[in-house]
Amino acid sequence: MGNRDLSNLIKRAYLQSLKGEREGDREEEVEAIRETIKSAKKIVVATNNEKKFKVIKNIISEICDAEIKMIDLDTKVADLSRMPAIAKGLIALDVEDADLYIARGRLGVPGSGSMLVIMDSKGRILTASLSESSAIHKESLERRIEKEVKDALRRVGL
């Protein structure tokens, strides 16, 4: 299933919502997300942190045969935005062409926890995962990112 098919499914869902006919996600929509992730040829991880990158790459490599690379740019500036995790993904999208973008950062204000987000080449969020503040979970960065990646993939049946 290609990007055009996903776009058509999104358009149909929008129209259903406008007409008050939308009654939840459909299996074909979730399948389109799965196929978009599995068929990616190039994935950019919006970090220059080798530890974060390694954990994400190891897990994603198990589900797709893509070139997976780190962004060669410091994304700390995203922490100045209201939604740092999403801002990091959009920075990556702006500076590097890829099929998928994976970003992980703070959810919102300091103390709000973190979000890992997987976006397509248009910046549309395919899936995501949230974690409570590190002050609460007290796990290592690597362990928490592993849980977030697996949770985001599980949400779409991968």
* Rounded Cα distance, 83 and 78, in Å: 8
Q: Where residue 134 sits, what CATH number does that domain have?
A: 3.40.50.10150
* Rounded Cα distance, 85 and 145, in Å: 13
Domain assignment of residue 118, yes or no: yes
> Quick one: three-class SS letters along 64-119?
CCCEEEECCCCCHHHHHCCCHHHHHHHHHHHHCCCCEEEEEEECCCCCCCEEEEEE
Domain assignment of residue 24, yes or no: no
Domain assignment of residue 25, yes or no: no
Tokens of 126: 């395919």
* Rounded Cα distance, 53 and 104, in Å: 10
Tokens of 89: 């993904």
Tokens of 4: 């055009």
In total, how many domains does the chain have?
1
- Those residues with Cβ within 8 angstroms of residue 33's Cβ, 6 or more apart along the chain or in another chain: 6, 126, 127, 156
Domain assignment of residue 131, yes or no: yes
Per-residue pLDDT of the chain (158 residues; tens, 9 = 90+): 566 789 999 999 999 999 999 999 999 999 999 999 999 999 999 999 999 999 999 999 999 999 999 998 899 999 999 999 999 999 999 999 999 999 999 999 999 999 999 999 999 999 999 999 999 999 999 999 999 999 999 999 99
Domain assignment of residue 67, yes or no: yes
